[in-house]
Chain A
Amino acid sequence: MKAVTYSLLILAMVAFGFGVYRVAGVLKTDSGRVVRPSSTTAPALPGTMYVAQQGALYRFKDGAFTQITDDAGWTQVAASSDGSRLVAVMRRENYSDVYLLASNGRIIQQLTHLQAQQAEANHWSFLPRFSADRSQVFYSYDAKDPWATYRVDLAIFALADDGSGAAVQWTVPNDYTGGDVDALPLQGGGLIYTKYSIDDKSQVHSQVWYSARPGQPGRALTQPDDNCLQPALSPDGKTLAMICRRDQLQSTDLVIAQLAGTNLTLGPESVLVHGQLSASPVFSPDGHTIAFLAPVQPGEAFQLWTVPAAATSSPSAAHPITQNLGLDSSAPPAWIK
């Protein structure tokens, strides 16, 4: 009996020691830990949303995430306004291509074919968006400069949504800046996007830019020192949401401004979210809410957030929808009815 008691006590002590070891491990901060969206639920949002995480696309509807593609480097999904078609990027080591997908993730057509044998002969295509009438797909593409092999600047091109014909170059990037991204085709036929520049003091600036026609130089909608990027347009086309870095390195501002007149002038900004690392905003189908991506805790991976799209919103009005997903912050959510 005593032997059994001693044995049990010794076993309990060993178990306790092992438990202390394990508990010490549990106490450590593990900010890189994320789960698949399909293994979790979240508060429901109106309509349907598409997001990207670690090479796969997910549909978020009625509070549940459904994986709609395999894990094959998928990212940056955008939806047509009627929700029947998606465009998304499949990214591989040296290249990426834009694909036309059905709403269930089935591949309908590969729109670009940018793979090449030599590493430097490959091309990138990023951040595709449908034109308002869905007849075209706008995207960023790195046209090569045969006289400067180190120059890799993205420019915005438009391609017919069936991939036919030659792509039309809309923007001319500033040399050796990385180029133009975030294509946002307008209902009236123009284009809003983000342009990068480097001034004579070697400072990098990002500005939200407007071009009415392909090849036209266009003009800036925001100031260089505001360092705004990732524009999103409300469904009625009257409000622009964007991320402005200003001179911050560890946080950004999510701002909205009215876009007025045929000349598209930008009104005063209202900061909706300040002091967080906000990224990739998108309007809800009714225009009343903005979804964006940001860490819940500093240093953590990016989660889905929402904030009312009203200039009177207090900073505390923003709240996270997910907690542990680690969404691709360079892939704006697509939000449709």
Chain B
Amino acid sequence: MGEFAPERVRDRSRYRPELPLPRTSRIIAGFLLAGLIGLTAYFLPVLQSSATPVVSSGGAILDPVAGPTTPFTVLLLGSDDDSKFAADQYNTQSMILVRVDPSSKQVTMLSIPRDLWVPISGQQGVGKIDTAYQTGGVDAAIATVQQNFQVHIDDYVWIGLKGLIKLIDTMGGVNLVVTNPVMDDFYPADINTSSPYGYYRVALLPGPVHLDGVHALQYVRSRHGDLRGDFARSERQQELLLAMKAQAKHLNIANLPDLASAMNGEVKTSISLQRMRQLFAVLDQYNASGIHRVLLDTPYTSEGFAGGQAVVFPNWGLILPLVHQTFPQ
């Protein structure tokens, strides 16, 4: 048996067929594989963001709803995340509760005044609601809103200054109507600077405009030159959200890698990419008549002083019936 072995080896060597020319199916498979590698490379940022959840350490208290067919509520948080603050120790300058009802195609946006004087979850006593995130992270922010407004929050999205700029630039800017001149002589110059306490002047002229990220941020952040102060800013933030929703309608799947790159590290959310896609599909069906905007200005709130600072006092007797009506459980 053993004596034949070398012979077989020799035979195999002798008779080894020459490699045939690739058949058509192999060539096609090769091209398909190459195309798949090209697509994978293009969508790599999306795959990476899926593999690395953007969910922050917070959000543990959330109990997301099953799917996009039942009404759900998202808490949108916007922070000044410049170098004045320690990492993830930010105030939330913007807090907007958004309720989406897929069956009736109604969206309600309720802006919470950042200076609202309320009991803060996990703390003794009361404080401005915008400090909840700073002291207890997203869990404290969510719990504070839930406890005070008696609403259930399903998901949250947090975004910082640079994140908003990058997101809007990646979307190609936004179109909106500036309702009146937005003038501010003390607009914070705290992005990409070593001196975050500086300021510069802002002037956005009224009328229809196409805004890039920096100017869109100016639009929603400026508050000094408007009679309505922070309430004007809240209103403009809602307008920007609607403009971003309109702009997102024109994006397609090929824009996802750029969006994922822009949001990487700049946005925190409890919403998975899969659910985000579902939400966009749902929001795509909404029109302006189904969107309701709520601001808690007078008589729902009143301005005053507490704890040595200017604050906004809630009139819960009016706010809670409004919330129960616009955010039914």
Binding site for B on A (CB under 8 A): 2, 5-6, 9-10, 12-14, 16-21, 24-33, 93-96, 119-120, 122, 124, 126-127, 142, 149-154, 175-179, 181, 194, 196, 198, 202, 204, 206, 227, 229-230, 243, 245, 248-250, 252, 277-280, 293-295, 297-302, 326, 329-330
Contacts and interface: CB of A to CB of B under 8 A. Distances in A.
Interface string B20-48: 01100001001101111111011100000
> Would you list the 3 A-B pairs with minimal beta carbon distance, nearest first?
A178-B181, A20-B38, A17-B34
Given A150-B186, A181-B181, A176 B210 contact: no
Interface in B192-250: 199-201, 203, 205-210, 212, 224-228, 231-232, 239, 242-243, 246-247, 249-250
Contact of B38 (A19, A26, A28, A95): A19
B174 to A, nearest CB: 8
A104 to B, nearest CB: 27
A305 to B, nearest CB: 12
A250 B175 contact: yes
A11 to B, nearest CB: 10
Nearest to B291: A249
Given A16-B38, A326-B210, A178 B201 contact: no
Contacts of A20: 34-35, 38-39, 42
A9 B30 contact: yes
A24 B172 contact: no
Nearest to B210: A301
B202 to A, nearest CB: 9
Interface stretch (B99-107, B252-260, B321-329): B252-260
B290 to A, nearest CB: 13
B200 A13 contact: no
A179 B183 CA distance: 9
Given A29-B251, A249-B239, A154 B22 contact: no
17 contacts: A20-B35, A21-B42, A26-B254, A27-B252, A32-B169, A119-B186, A126-B205, A142-B183, A150-B224, A153-B181, A175-B227, A178-B225, A196-B206, A202-B298, A248-B177, A250-B177, A299-B247
B250 A198 contact: no
A93 B186 CA distance: 13
Given A151-B225, A206-B179, A120 B201 contact: yes
Main secondary structure of the interface of B (DSSP, over half): mixed
Nearest to A198: B227
B249 A154 contact: no
B157 to A, nearest CB: 21
A297 B30 CA distance: 40
Contacts of B228: 198, 202
A278 B175 CA distance: 11
A278 B209 CA distance: 10
A151 B298 CA distance: 22
Contact of B225 (A126, A150, A330): A150
Given A196-B180, A204-B180, A329-B210, A32 B250 contact: no
A243 B179 CA distance: 12
A19 B41 CA distance: 12
A102 to B, nearest CB: 26
A145 B173 CA distance: 34
Interface in B248-276: 249-252, 254-255, 258
Contacts of B224: 150, 152
A278 B246 CA distance: 16
B244 to A, nearest CB: 10
A299 B246 contact: yes
B190 interface: no
A245 B183 CA distance: 20
B186 A229 contact: no
A298 B253 CA distance: 18
Nearest to B287: A250
A139 B231 CA distance: 30
Given A202-B295, A298-B250, A28 B227 contact: no
B38 A21 contact: yes
A104 B183 CA distance: 32
B258 A28 contact: yes
Contacts of B210: 295, 300-302, 326, 329
A19 to B, nearest CB: 7
